[in-house]
Amino acid sequence: MLYSEKVMDHFKNPRNVGEIEDADGVGEVGNPVCGDIMKMYLKIENDVIVDCKFKTFGCGSAIATSSMATELIKGKTVQEALELSNKAVVEALDGLPARKIHCSVLAEEAIKAALVDYYNKNGLELPPEIKDFKPHED
């Protein structure tokens, strides 16, 4: 079996799909090679990610990784979200085939892009984790 049960589950029943109208941070990233696009919305109160939604125009692994990524940061602090790596998302999904790892990178980048937006909107200095963040240009 190429994909784990968890990947199939999050692909078929993705969690936290949608938009947040009054989001505190919004990030959109794309992979220029495969053309997939991911948009992430964060609602942040007192430094905690109280809600998180995503929209992904992309492959099954991109959907599964964005779904899992939202689950991993919901209820967590901004600092914990900053530290979320694509590797942690892949591990939480019980693995991904090597040629699908870039899909999980998109999930990590979408969260980072949304956090950059949050810091910028609030006039805060970007922390080291996202200081030099640059999403793929497409």
Residue pair 119/73 in contact by the 8 Å Cβ criterion: no
Binding residue for ligand FES, selected from 14, 25, 27, 58, defined by CB under 6 A: 58
Q: Under DSSP, is residue 136 helix (H, G, I), strand (E, B) or coil? A: coil
Binding residues for ligand FES restricted to 60-79, rule: CB under 6 A: 61-62
The answer to whether 31 contacts ligand FES (rule: CB under 6 A) is yes
Known catalytic membership, residue 59: no
Residue with Cβ nearer ligand FES (27 or 58): 58
52 catalytic, yes or no? no
Q: Which of 23, 44, 52, 59 contacts ligand FES by CB under 6 A?
A: 59
The DSSP 8-state label assigned to residue 125 in this structure reads P
Among 49, 64, 68, 103, binds ligand FES (CB under 6 A): 103
| Tokens found for residue 73 | 């940061």
Following DSSP, what letter does each residue of 53-114 receive, concatenated?
A: EEEEES-HHHHHHHHHHHHHHTTSBHHHHHT--HHHHHHHTT---GGGHHHHHHHHHHHHHH
CB 110 within 8 Å of CB 83:
no
Q: How far is the CB of 37 from ligand FES (least distance, A)?
A: 9
Q: Which is nearer to ligand FES, 1 or 33 (CB)?
A: 33
**Helix or strand run (H / E) with residue 114:** helix 101-121
Q: Which spans of this chain sit near ligand FES (rule: CB under 6 A)?
A: 31, 34, 36, 58-59, 61-62, 102-103, 106
- The residues carrying an active-site annotation are 34, 103
